[in-house]
Amino acid sequence: MTRSEEKAAFERDGYVLVENLLTAEETAILQQHADKGRDVRVMPDADGRASKLDLWMDVRGDVFGAVARQARIVERVRALLGEDVYHWHSKVMMKEPRVGGAWEWHQDYGYWYTDGCLYPRMLSCMVALDPATKANGCLQVIPGSHLLGRLEHGKSGGQSAIDPQRIEAVLERLPRVYAEMPAGSALFFHGNTLHSSGPNTSDVPRRAFICCYNAWSNRPYGGKGHGKPQVLELAAPEAILAFAAAAK
């Protein structure tokens, strides 16, 4: 898919899938670091099952920072949003085998809105660290749902979520897509794209690294927000491998 085709898909569907964004060697390095979180939170779903989340605002000087500053990601984000961007936050999401919980239907801008961003000119890049399948709780998206605008969010378990009746009405009009993808692939999705994921009922983990960006023109008012609005210095293409080599 060309960059112009990616942009067309993003504008139409609210997301675009890029397979093999990272090499197998780079993905293996991230797998080794995925479980070394500094501030892991447990986020229960509506049924009390829990997924683990490690979230940070700064661009870390580690292997994940090397990913968040990769040109193959940042330049795509700039092209999809049509302007320069800065790092909003990054996170590693971990669904352990058999016990990892679901993520309820939501929009990221549903709660980023409260951070003072006036527009949903925000985007997430989710990199699969393990093969993502229905069985291990891959992401589910609703194509075209970003055009619904921001929806009201309440609470479901320990998560922000949209009223199930509204989701049911949306799914009567728009399809549900299971974003199954190989490890190393990435899904770029709009801040208003409705997404969720099921529990991990398999015997293998489902881990993902997500780096999120905000359009430079959409910097929040009132000193709010997540990451500091700073120009992103792109990392070298080999930075992920170099970080692993230096750590040996």
Alpha carbon distance 189, 73 (integer Å) = 12
More confident residue, 159 or 210: 210
Give the pLDDT confidence score for residue 248 in this predicted structure.
Answer: 64
Q: Is-contact 102 95, C-beta < 8 A? A: no
Render pLDDT for 33-83 as a digit per residue (tens, 0 to 9).
998 767 788 888 878 888 889 999 999 999 999 999 999 999 999 999 999
Alpha carbon distance 31, 209 (integer Å) = 10
Q: Is-contact 141 92, C-beta < 8 A? A: no
Give the pLDDT confidence score for residue 25 in this predicted structure.
Answer: 97
Provide the H-helix boundaries in the chain: 3-13, 24-33, 63-68, 71-81, 109-112, 164-173, 239-247
Alpha carbon distance 106, 193 (integer Å) = 8
Residue 165 neighbours by CB under 8 Å, 6+ apart: none
Give the pLDDT confidence score for residue 43 in this predicted structure.
Answer: 80
Render pLDDT for 100-158 as a digit per residue (tens, 0 to 9).
998 999 999 999 999 999 999 999 999 999 999 999 999 999 999 999 999 999 888 77
Q: Is-contact 208 103, C-beta < 8 A? A: no
Q: Is the pLDDT of residue 247 over 80?
A: no
Give the pLDDT confidence score for residue 1 in this predicted structure.
Answer: 85
Rounded to 5 degrees, what are φ and ψ at 113? -50, -40
| Range name among 49-53, 167-171, 224-228, 238-242 with the lowest pLDDT average | 49-53
Give the pLDDT confidence score for residue 232 in this predicted structure.
Answer: 95
Give the pLDDT confidence score for residue 241 in this predicted structure.
Answer: 94
Give the pLDDT confidence score for residue 158 in this predicted structure.
Answer: 76
Alpha carbon distance 168, 145 (integer Å) = 13
Alpha carbon distance 45, 48 (integer Å) = 5
Q: Is-contact 211 68, C-beta < 8 A? A: yes
CATH 2.60.120.620 fits 3-247, yes or no: yes
Domain ranges in the chain are: 3-247
The pTM score is 0.95
Mean pLDDT of the chain: 94
